Structure 1
Amino acid sequence: MKRLLIPAAAACLLTACATSPTGRSQFMLISPESAIVESRTAYLSTVSDLDKQNKLSSDKALAKRVAEITGRLVTVAMQEYPRSADWEWSVAVIDDPKTVNAWCMAGGRMAVYTGLFEQLKLTDAEFAQIMGHEISHALANHTAERMSRAMATTLGVVAVGAMSDRPAVAMGGAAVAAKLALELPNSRTAELEADHLGMEIAVRAGYDPDAAVTLWEKMGSVGGGERPPEFLSTHPAPGNRQAALAAMANEARQLNPSGSKARVQPIQVLTADAQ
């Protein structure tokens, strides 16, 4: 068992690789396709639980706003990354005024929390920057990358368990991987990549890139430093992020100088009334 397991784990670690849309080499043990399949299962389970707990929003005006802005971004994503045209694009609107967060799983399954709007008083352009950033995580296969980091940790746990003849440690590897895949933040490299790609998507969709700077100014002021937004816990921000975004904005604006709006791609919006 020991002789077979450890070389197999090492082989996986040595041969798994991919390339992001920006040309960056990515460490992959989980294929993007597998990440989409696993994300679908997790997403449907999460939304079902939220519905049972009456935690999906019933705000029709907010749902319409989310659908319109996110729909424009999805139109651009599908144009620029044709493989995403077959994704099951959807967004759940979660009724949680205390949580400032949003995310997008592999395969285009998204969620936004009402706290984003209530606490940050977002403009349309600021919300577009958030969702462009989140969509970019999916387009750049960051979910698969994060799951792979978790799997690498698990392989280490399994190998240690096999070497020490501790079956319980080895058998617990899968559980560790699943937990870490949900909890690990994106790397700073992935964050900068999503900033860049997300701003481009938002600009092509017709939204002002300067909103990325004002968004992070608002994000930094929420909670007065006592209870930072959940968004910041999974989106590590280097100190020069706002300066970097401002520099990106000048270049990104040239992608759509007139600011013309993209068409709205119909997507599924999951709310209390939609269940």
Structure 2
Amino acid sequence: MKNWLCAILLLALTACATSPTGRSQLMLVSPEQAISASREAYVQTLLPLQKEGKVDSNRATARRVQIITGKIIAQAIQQFPQTRDWEWSVKVIDEPDTVNAWCMAGGKMAVYTGLLDKVKPTDDELAQVMGHEISHALANHTAERMSVALATQMGMMGVAMVAGDSEYAGVALSGSALAAAMAITLPNSRTSESEADLMGIELAARAGYNPRAAATLWEKMAKVGGSTPPEFMSTHPSPTNRQSTLNNLADKMMPYYLQKGDRPIYPLN
């Protein structure tokens, strides 16, 4: 039993990686495993919605999202060349009461019509949403959340074994199911959110979108939510000074936004 617990501790100590901003991350699940699991989860998530006609039902809206997202993806690939081989995808899900967007590992994305219709983001503001979500994938946050969940379950399995609960101790995690839960329903840590803010605002600025829109986006989000924050905010915890932080970041990102020349676009369909 002591050997089992020591093995868990050793694995947690050695399975570390470094994020694009230099932060240490727990990586019991590799980015490649997270991408594979997310690919399966993406199909499982969209299939029933497609059967109901709720995916990309408005061609003009879908095209708007594709153009904005495609410009940000092009910048992501320039900054992170290994993502060139990702199967990038973005879909608009017709759920008017859902104010949310997400990006799984490997660049599998979705935006809900509730965010588009209730927040009514400008192109600059929508670019902040997509840049932020894409940054979660670039920083391997899905793999990180899966790893935290796995470490937690391993610890509970160890406790169960000590307590003699052999039934619980034999429970195993399902990769694709866990990926879907982690990527869509569970919140990132505040550290991960701050990291996605920093990376996302730069990607959007490089793509030609005004970084000052990051702060106005969150102002709109707060107004839409009222006393109850919309899902996008509730699953994206943030410190109270987020808007101030974003305004300060915007000043630093303006040179990217103001640089001359055409901005490439990654083709999405």
1:238 aligns with 2:248: no
Letter in 2 for 1:208: N
8 Å CA contact retained: 1:16, 1:28: yes
TM-score with structure 2 setting the length: 0.93
**Residue of structure 2 equivalent to 1:101:** 100
Answer yes or no: is the 8 Å Cα contact 2:38–2:104 preserved in 1. yes
Opposite residue 239 of structure 1, the aligned amino acid is T
Q: Which amino acid aligns with 1:116?
A: L
Task: Quickly say closer, same or farther: Cα 1:216–1:17, change in 2 above 3 A.
Answer: same
2:201 and 2:253 in contact (8 A); partners too: yes
Task: Report what 1:40 is aligned to.
Answer: 39
Task: State the SS of the aligned residue for 1:92.
Answer: strand
Q: Is 1:206–1:260's contact at 8 Å kept on the other side of the alignment?
A: no
Q: What's the RMSD between the two structures over aligned residues? A: 1.9
Distance in 1 (CA, whole Å) between partners of 2:44 and 2:52 is 12
Q: Distance in 1 between matches of 2:172 and 2:224?
A: 37
Q: Does the Cα contact within 8 Å between 2:62 and 2:91 map onto a contact in 1?
A: no
Q: Following TM superposition, by how much is the alpha carbon of 1:173 offset from its aligned partner in structure 2, in angstroms?
A: 5.0
User: Is the contact made by 2:124 and 2:213 (CA closer than 8 Å) also made in structure 1?
Assistant: yes
- Counterpart of 1:236 in structure 2: which amino acid? P
The 2-side partners of 1:114 and 1:44 are apart by 19
**Structure 1 Cα separation of the partners of residues 170 and 221 of structure 2:** 41
Q: Which amino acid aligns with 2:112?
A: Y
Deviation at 1:237, TM superposition (A): 1.5
Alignment pair present for 1:250 and 2:251? yes
Equivalent residue of 1:93, what SS? strand
For residues 74 and 84 of structure 2, what CA distance do their matches in structure 1 show? 9
Within 5 A, what are the aligned runs for 1:186-205? 186-205=188-207
- Unaligned 5+ runs, structure 1: 269-275
CA distance in 1, matches of 2:209, 2:77: 17
Post-superposition shift, 1:266? 0.5
**1:197: how far off?**
0.5
TM-score by length of 1: 0.91
Give me the whole-angstrom Cα distance separating, in 2, the residues matched to 1:49 and 1:163: 42
Give the counterpart letter for 2:264 in structure 1: R
Q: Distance in 2 between matches of 1:86 and 1:180?
A: 24
Aligned counterpart in structure 2 of residue 213 of structure 1, from 212, 215, 221: 215
Aligned partner of residue 238 in structure 1, secondary structure: coil
Identity of aligned residues (%): 53
Q: Say if 1:158 and 1:173, in contact at 8 Å, map to a contact too.
A: no
Q: Runs in 1 of length 4+ with deviation above 6 angstroms?
A: none
- Counterpart-to-counterpart distance in 1, 2:193 and 2:232: 12
Letter in structure 1 aligned against 2:200:
G
For residues 54 and 8 of structure 1, what CA distance do their matches in structure 2 show? 49
In the TM superposition, residue 156 of structure 1 has moved relative to its aligned partner by: 1.2
- 1:1-275 pair list within 5 angstroms: 2=1, 5-172=4-171, 174=173, 178=178, 181=182, 183-226=185-228, 228-258=229-259, 260-268=261-269
Distance 1:128 1:24 in 2: 25
Counterpart CA distance in 2 for 1:49 and 1:152 is 32
Residue 175 (structure 1) shift: 6.2
Contact 1:87-1:108 at 8 Å conserved across structures: yes
Letter in 1 for 2:204: A
Change (3 A) 1:261 1:101: farther
* Cα contact 2:211–2:257 (8 A) shared by 1: no
What letter is aligned with 1:105? M
Measure, in 1, the Cα distance between the counterparts of 2:100 and 2:11: 34
Secondary structure, counterpart of 2:173 in structure 1? helix
Deviations 1:167-188 (A, max 9, x none): 2222335269938635431111
